[in-house]
Amino acid sequence: MSDFNPNEIWEQSEYAVKSRVDVPLTDELLASIEAELGYKLPTAYVELARIQNGGIPKKTNHRTSERTSWAQDHVAITGIFAIGRSKTYGLCGQIGSQFMIDEWGYPPIGVYFADCPSAGHDMLCLDYRGCGADGEPQVVHVDQEFDYKTTFVAKDFASFIRGLEPDEAFDEE
């Protein structure tokens, strides 16, 4: 992700700073978060967090090859969770990955890293089922409203970030 300009990725707002952007990522924080989650986070996620640790991307939609509860051809996200504990929307924060598994019943298939505009009724997850806890997970959309249906989104986190598109790309003509 070092080939991205942070000004091109992240939307800057007071809300993002207050609820999503965590302290700069250190090696110690990363190690403790990975130990708590039980998964090695993708290198691209870590690189992005070293630029800015969590936030709201400027482009918040990603195409899918099948329908989701959100749209015929894509999913939308509200933000990307910080690698940390202190923000509400941190991987180990108040409404983090384990909270979504324990309290909302999401399947324990990996790390829930991005919320959607549905206020918790669908999430994006780093799915480690095919690669193990130390492998390179694919990105999937998990829909609580449809019995936790899982839809493939991207082959890995870097592809997910590169595939994000603005709202205008999906405006109906």
pTM: 0.94
- At 5 the pLDDT is 65
- At 173 the pLDDT is 44
- State in words which class domain 6-166 has: alpha beta
- At 4 the pLDDT is 62
Per-residue pLDDT of 47-56, as tens digits, reads 999 999 999 9
3-state secondary structure the chain: CCCCCHHHHEECCHHHHHHCCCCCCCHHHHHHHHHHHCCCCCHHHHHHHHHCCCEEECCCEEECCCCCCCCCCEEECCEECECCCCCCCECCCCCCHHHHHHHHCCCCCEEEEEECCCCCCEEEEEECCCCCCCCCCEEEEEEHHHCCEEEEEECCHHHHHHCEECHHHHCCC
Instruction: State the Cα–Cα distance between residues 92 and 78, nearest whole angstrom.
Output: 17
The stretches in the chain having pLDDT less than 50 are 173
